[in-house]
Amino acid sequence: MSASGRLGTTDFTLSLSNNDASRRGGQGPELVLDGNGQLLLSRWQRDVFFIDSPRLAGTIHRESAAGSVFNASLSAERYDFRVAFDGIATPLPPEPLVEETFRQTDNSWNVEAGADYEFPVGPGRLKLIGLQRYAHGPLMATSRARQSLLGAVATGTLYERTARDGESVLRAEFVWGEDEEKWQAAFEGAYNFLEVSSAVGTLRPDGSYSRTILRGGNIFVDEWRSNISLTRGWRLNEHVSLQTLIGAEFSEIRQTGAGGLSRQFWRPKGSATLSWTMSPRLTFNASLERQVGQLDFLDFSAAVDLINGVTNAGNTALVPEQSWRFEGQLVRSFGSAGSVTLGGYGEAISDIVDRIPVNATEESIGNLPTARRWGMIARGTLLLDTIGWRGGRINASSEFRDSRVRDPITGTFRRISQDLVRRWSVDIRHDIPGTDIAWGGSLSEELKARTFRLDQLFETYLDQPIATVFVEHKNVAGFTVRLGLRNVLNGEDYIRRDFYVDRRDGPIDFSEIQTRRIHLIGVLTISGTF
């Protein structure tokens, strides 16, 4: 919910939200098969997820008679994530049953403050922008197993990590020229840091856990980064416009801890965007861009995934991705009936971030030399008033993608690990005329490529699209209240992991095949503005 108002010449808003909150769970069987497909053991597992992310935010906006504009914002957010797995493993006789549990908590928070001030200077306008962000995130995961025998002793492992990170940004933009042929010169300086401390341990007889420092898990990484760019708009004729940007990025990344080092990077950047109004209802857009990616500093640190039984080594040699991206789109307007967009894109990527082996037995997040990615997109909106269904609306979107990278283990080409394969959705909504009531639903699907690890191949997907329905009332004591159901088609989650002998270029050692029944999920949303 949010409140807004005005004090003198200053506008303000204050909002409180918990949009990502959810409670969900699933249950189902897991089969563990040897390399020949013979049963080794079976499990029955149940999982429960709790997510809350309350966020308090405020903004102010002020314009002066002299033409200056001031904006400021402040937000604070808490993220609480809890997951619990409970299972019973049934090995082949005469081995006893095994009770298994897994728990993970992530109780992080972040604060962010930003401000910008825009005012006239000479022939143009100058905008000064500042941002400060700080976050703190403790995470702890534990797993336990105990045979169902009198006097059996439980065994278990622990992984905990505390991450502290922040970002400071100062930016200046100067804009001048005519509306359709403006120039913009921009300079940005930023400082980012991440400090991580990690530990692993084993379960003691008294129920507590020992703790030892994870090798490669204690690091401090920081980056000084600056960007400079010059943008120009061009009106080529009555129907064609062009925007060009040239720029460069300089950064210095420093790391302390195991294998620490300091590196400097200079990367050119730029783009050209063309818009051609072919007719009053048909527009063609095209762009060519040189992109420079940003690193996730957590990838520099070693980490443990207890639920999947894998460990990532730290990698101090990570470098940012770079790519050339081309995109083209045709936009067809149907006036009051809606519009349709069709397009495609392609990317040539260098230093793609994927999973790489660092020695015979360890892997990490790292860079592969080159990759390709291409895809097609379609989206549209249909307003149903034109065919007699007043208040009706259909939105649809889709993206289909393929990619190609040479696998560092097998030497063959494959998709980029965990890259998008397809994503589509269809949403329908009907606002009943003359009332405050609306209803609707959606059908959607998202599928990603498999995860390729040193000694594992992992894939997961839902066996059918996710269907939702809802009913909404837009004035319940001034609030909008929506009640919905998710997973109406009762879809199930399918998970498969193939574990290889030594590395993934050898024979399969064993496989885990899981099915999770998700059941119906109820969704209640209450929103309002004062």
Express each pLDDT in 346-355 by its tens digit.
999 999 999 9
The stretch 309-317 carries a mean pLDDT of 83
The stretch 239-267 carries a mean pLDDT of 89
Give the Cβ contact number of residue 47 at 10 Å: 19
Q: How far is the C-alpha of 130 from the C-alpha of 125, rounded, in Å?
A: 17
Q: What is the mean pLDDT of the chain?
A: 93
Q: Determine contact, residues 448/420, Cβ cutoff 8 Å.
A: yes
Q: Which of 27, 22, 5 is nearest to 492 (CA)?
A: 27
Q: What one-letter code names the amino acid at 490?
A: N
Residue for token pair 């005469």: 94
Flag whether pLDDT at 192 surpasses 90: yes
Q: How far is the C-alpha of 197 from the C-alpha of 298, rounded, in Å?
A: 11
Q: How far is the C-alpha of 298 from the C-alpha of 256, rounded, in Å?
A: 13
Flag whether pLDDT at 309 surpasses 80: no
Q: How far is the C-alpha of 134 from the C-alpha of 192, rounded, in Å?
A: 10
Evaluated on CA atoms 21, 113, 266, 254, the torsion sign reads: negative
Confidence band for 161, pLDDT divided at 50, 70 and 90: very high
The predicted structure's pLDDT at residue 452: 95
The predicted structure's pLDDT at residue 306: 85
The predicted structure's pLDDT at residue 257: 65
Q: How far is the C-alpha of 521 from the C-alpha of 488, rounded, in Å?
A: 8
The predicted structure's pLDDT at residue 431: 95
Confidence band for 7, pLDDT divided at 50, 70 and 90: confident
Express each pLDDT in 398-426 by its tens digit.
999 999 999 999 999 999 999 999 999 99
Q: Is 2 helix (H, G, I), strand (E, B) or coil?
A: strand
Express each pLDDT in 451-477 by its tens digit.
999 999 999 999 999 999 999 999 998
Share of the chain above pLDDT 70, in %: 99
Share of the chain above pLDDT 90, in %: 79
Confidence band for 38, pLDDT divided at 50, 70 and 90: very high
Q: Which of 169, 292, 177 is nearest to 230 (CA)?
A: 177
Tokens encoding 61: 């906006």
The predicted structure's pLDDT at residue 258: 60
Burial 153-162 (b: 16+ CB within 10 A, else e): eeebbbbbbe
The predicted structure's pLDDT at residue 259: 62
The model carries a pTM of 0.89
Q: Where are the domains of the chain?
A: 94-527
The predicted structure's pLDDT at residue 410: 94
Confidence band for 317, pLDDT divided at 50, 70 and 90: confident
Confidence band for 252, pLDDT divided at 50, 70 and 90: very high
Q: How far is the C-alpha of 92 from the C-alpha of 498, rounded, in Å?
A: 20
Phi, psi (deg, nearest 5) at residue 294: -115, 140
Q: Which of 366, 363, 365 is nearest to 310 (CA)?
A: 363
Tokens encoding 455: 């000694």
Express each pLDDT in 485-508 by its tens digit.
999 999 999 999 999 998 999 999
The predicted structure's pLDDT at residue 358: 86
Express each pLDDT in 360-402 by its tens digit.
888 999 999 999 999 999 999 999 998 889 999 999 999 999 9
Give the Cβ contact number of residue 266 at 10 Å: 8
Confidence band for 300, pLDDT divided at 50, 70 and 90: confident
Q: What one-letter code names the amino acid at 202?
A: T
Q: How far is the C-alpha of 47 from the C-alpha of 87, rounded, in Å?
A: 9
The predicted structure's pLDDT at residue 495: 94
Give the Cβ contact number of residue 261 at 10 Å: 10
The predicted structure's pLDDT at residue 530: 64
Give the Cβ contact number of residue 337 at 10 Å: 13
- Fold (CATH) for 94-527: Maltoporin; Chain A (2.40.170)
The predicted structure's pLDDT at residue 20: 84
The predicted structure's pLDDT at residue 476: 92
Partnered with residue 21 across adjacent β-strands are none
Instruction: Write the DSSP symbol of residue 417.
Output: T
